[in-house]
């Protein structure tokens, strides 16, 4: 069974690393949000792969994946609303300028 899950885990690790690189290195807030979504999709891929090819196959991982997709959709809606408000007030979406929200 370990050989069947390896390609899924490899793909998920690659997706997660690409998302992590994008979240840590990009300055545009929209790209950072997309990178976070890419990391969440890598987690979903792991959940489904272990659900299908794990020691005790069941639907638990797939159900958790659906909850994760729901939370990710809510996160994107709130994040985009914050970004639109930020863009209207400041005129840009540079992540380095967003520390002024602390003050």
Q: Where are the domains of the chain?
A: 1-92
pLDDT at 2 over 80: no
DSSP string, 81-99: HHHHHHHHHHS--BGGGGG
pLDDT 10s digits, 79-103: 999 889 888 888 877 777 777 666 6
d(CA 64, CA 53): 16
Q: For residue 6, how many other CB atoms are within 10 A of its CB?
A: 11
d(CA 31, CA 11): 21
More confident residue, 93 or 75: 75
Q: Is the dihedral of CA 86, 88, 90, 95 positive or negative?
A: positive
Arithmetic mean of pLDDT over the chain: 89
d(CA 77, CA 98): 18
1-92, CATH topology level: Helix Hairpins (1.10.287)
Q: Residues with Cβ < 8 Å from 32, sequence gap 6 or more?
A: 22, 23, 26, 95
Average pLDDT (46-70) is 91
pTM for the model = 0.84
């Amino acid at each position: 069974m370990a050989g069947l899950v390896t390609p899924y885990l490899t793909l998920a690790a690659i997706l997660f690393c690409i998302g992590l690189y994008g979240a840590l290195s990009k300055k545009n807030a929209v790209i950072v949000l997309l990178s976070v979504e890419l990391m969440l999709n890598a987690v979903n891929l792991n959940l489904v792969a272990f659900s299908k090819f794990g020691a005790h196959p069941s639907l638990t991982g797939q159900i958790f994946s659906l909850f994760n997709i729901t939370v990710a959709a809510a996160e994107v809606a709130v994040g985009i609303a914050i970004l639109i408000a930020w863009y209207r007030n400041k005129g840009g979406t540079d992540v380095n300028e967003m520390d002024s929200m602390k003050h």
